[in-house]
Structure 1
Amino acid sequence: MNLFRGVQDRRHAKALQAELDLVEAGLLENLTFASPVADVPARYLLEAGGKRIRPTLTLLASELGEGPNELVRRAAQSVEITHLASLYHDDVMDDATLRRGVPAAQTVWSNSIAILAGDLLFARASTLVSGMGEEAILLQAQTFERLCLGQLHETVGPQEGEAPIPHYLQVLADKTGALIACAARMGVMFGGAPTEYADPVMEYGERIGVAFQLIDDVIDLSPKSQQTGKLAGTDLRAGVATLPMLLLRERAAAGNVADAELLERIDAGVLAIENGAEPAVLDAEVKALQLHDVTRETEMTARRWAEEAVAQLDILPKSSVKRALERMAESIVNREG
């Protein structure tokens, strides 16, 4: 997934990659702790790799102004560290076994150490932002609040009378979209771009965040498990609500007999896995859902969110940066892992 492929000038693309390399070096420096007990767990997920979508977006957004500088790089690091911190917590809450192709942190150490490692990263991100001005501090605090609310709403589920699909999309906007939006806005803020770009670029970031997660719902069902680092249908086998499953439930509730039968088999398989059955008990149902119209509908929904993201960029002048942002949205919905 080449996030700089929309930058037409090769020297410009190389310069941005060099800036991303500086951000990466800064991440390693900022996630080094004097205590050996903290040092290894805190760097664990950073060293596992990742797409670095958030810092890339911060750097690109800064190009709408004067380009990367020390504050832009610092902002990019703070956002990525916040993202990494949230992964430690998410994996504990989801009882995940894998993250980025490596064992989840709590399976290597313990739930307590994974949670504390995440807390350390949140603290380090706050330290980075603390010297960047009141606006940046407030933006980080508001974003962190949305991350927590998104996780809370996901945990408790839709309330009585609340439609499951809008609830799910709002969870995605809070848990993923908010931080990507923050990354974009910080690039505008610290890159010296016109202030009128801040809100549209932030809206763009939130929408590509939702699109990213919806495509993840599709990828989860993909048989190309070697690309995702997970067994196909990991979320389905764990009973996690994704958009394909929510759409299937909606169709079953509307009286579609075939969909109701598939849903019944899936629910029975999930219960069997919870009671000790092998995950393979749902292999046929995973394949059926992967080929089902609800998965195509999920992909189309992701593409609509990406198109809405790109529409937010209409205010920007034509440039290689605008094209790169457009291509970033395309790359997110076209990826296979």
Structure 2
Amino acid sequence: MSIATAAIGVPGASEALTERLVDGLAAVDARLREVVRHDDPFIAEASTHLVDAGGKRFRPLLTLLAAEVAGGTNPQVIDAAVGVELTHLASLYHDDVMDEADLRRGVTSANARYGNSTAILVGDLLFGKASAIVAGLGPEAVLIQAETFVRLCTGQIEDDRQSPGDADPMEHYLGVLADKTGSLIATAARYGAMFGGAQPAVVEAMRQYGELVGMVFQLADDVLDISSDVSGKEPGTDLREGVRTLPVLYALASTDPADARLQALISKPITDPDEHAEALALLRRHPALERARQRTLAVAAQARALLEPLGESDALSVLRELPDSVASRSL
């Protein structure tokens, strides 16, 4: 794998495709900085805080790859990628306020540095910037942006509520994943295909593909929260907060009497350090963790299958590998 390929995280891409993607991401970054520029130095600094912190740029990369399935990158594709990334960045400002986070992407979070009020308002400002750039892409793009924003907010609200008593916990959990994480990644792929010039059936396939890839991304994260000590955050964070992720839901659904102790521990937030360590150890040995891994791989396979009717190309080969690459973080 070339250094350029490794840098953008696209295993299996040809040298020519890699060069186009690197150039495309450079164009996205330049346009992103142009759009967030502000005359007020303080607002400019706060607005670029997470832009400067870097990140994977996964969503713009997916937009560029989806465009490659059709006619390739053009100025509209770049603007669509910037609109998606701005929406993502704006949501991070708000997430960190809600989570009372201290760090984001290895730097001090915006809320910790500038205060909650400024972080919320800068997030709003970036949502406005995203809407402005998408407006230049036409009314259909604006409608898609609005619908995506509604789903992002819905997913966050439902995530904070946890599963209502009359709802199926698994359906609620998967619905939250689809809205909170899948919806924006779906839009990233949809925009790329749309503005790359793909036919409507291809655009729809890419939308569905992106949503499933987004779900794989979150499913893998939820497995890593249990299984890994090197996932970039303290293991068992969701357990501590009482968040019912896929491994927890599988364990709670067990009818084995031997699981009574584990179920008692994970049925509520775990504030005691010893109980937290016990629950983490029990869950790591439980079949629920392997079931969650297999479910993650199954969703990755669903995403890959959506691309089968689209034929063969360099970009499609990469897109077919991508879901398993995302899922493999949890293996």
Q: TM-score, normalised by structure 1?
A: 0.90
Taking a change above 3 Å as real, the CA distance of residues 260 and 42 of structure 1, as seen in their structure-2 partners, is farther
CA distances 1:275-320 after superposition (whole Å, capped 9, x unpaired): xxxx576233223323322121111111111110111112211111
Aligned mates of 1:259, 1:102 — CA distance in 2:
40
Report 1 or 2 for greater relative contact order, CA contacts < 8 Å, sequence distance ≥ 6: 1
Aligned to 1:331: 325
Which residue is 1:65 aligned to? 70
- SS in structure 2 opposite 1:119? helix
Identity of aligned residues (%): 43
Cα deviation, 1:172-212, whole Å, max 9, x if unaligned, reads 00111111111111111111122220111100000010011
Q: CA deviation at 1:24?
A: 1.6
Partner secondary structure for residue 165 of structure 2:
coil
State the match for 2:3 in structure 1: none
Residue of structure 1 equivalent to 2:314: 320
Distance apart, 1:88 and its partner CA: 1.5
Distance 2:130 2:224 in 1: 30
Change in CA separation of 1:313 and 1:223 when aligned onto 2, cut-off 3 Å: closer
* Post-superposition CA distance 1:118-151 (Å, at most 9, x none): 1111011001111111111111111111111111
Change beyond 3 A, Cα 1:63–1:268? closer
AA at the equivalent of 2:301: E
Report the Cα distance in structure 2 between the residues aligned to 1:294 and 1:16, rounded to whole angstroms: 38
User: Contact 1:3–1:331 (CA<8 Å) still a contact in 2?
Assistant: no
Q: Tell me which of 222, 238, 241 is aligned to 1:238.
A: 241
Residues 16 and 96 of structure 1: is their aligned pair in 2 closer, same or farther, counting only changes over 3 Å? same
Note if 1:125 corresponds to 2:130: yes
Q: Offset at 1:268?
A: 7.3
Structure 2 vs 1, CA of residues 159 and 285 (structure 1 numbering), >3 Å: closer, same or farther? closer
Match of 2:33 in 1: 28
Map of 2:46 onto structure 1? 41
Structure 1 residues 233-287: Cα deviation after superposition (integer angstroms, max 9, x where no partner)? 1222222221112222222xx3x33322023234677144xxxxxx576233223
Contiguous gaps of at least 5 residues in structure 1: 273-278
Tell me the distance in 2 between the aligned counterparts of 1:232 and 1:148.
Answer: 26
Change (3 A) 1:110 1:333: same
Seen in structure 2, the aligned counterparts of structure 1 residues 336 and 107 have a Cα distance that, compared at 3 Å, is farther
The count of residues paired between Structure 1 and Structure 2 equals 325
**Residues 208-247 of structure 1, C-alpha deviation per residue, up to 9 Å, x if partnerless?**
100110000011224433xx32111122222222111222
Q: CA RMSD in A?
A: 2.0
The code of the aligned residue for 2:40 comes to S
Runs of 4+ in 1 over 6 A off after TM superposition: none
1:195-274 equivalences under 5 Å are 195-225=200-230, 228-251=231-254, 254=255, 256-266=256-266, 270-272=270-272
* Matching residue's letter, 1:320: D
1:285 paired with 2:291, answer no
CA–CA distance in 2 between the matches of 1:168 and 1:21?
36
> How many Å separate the matches in 2 of 1:110 and 1:319?
48
Q: 2: CA distance between counterparts of 1:67 and 1:155?
A: 39
Q: Which runs of 5+ in 2 are unaligned?
A: 1-5
Alignment-mate amino acid for residue 321 of structure 1: A
Residue 34 (structure 2) pairs with residue 5 (structure 1): no
Distance 1:297 1:100, change over 3 A: farther
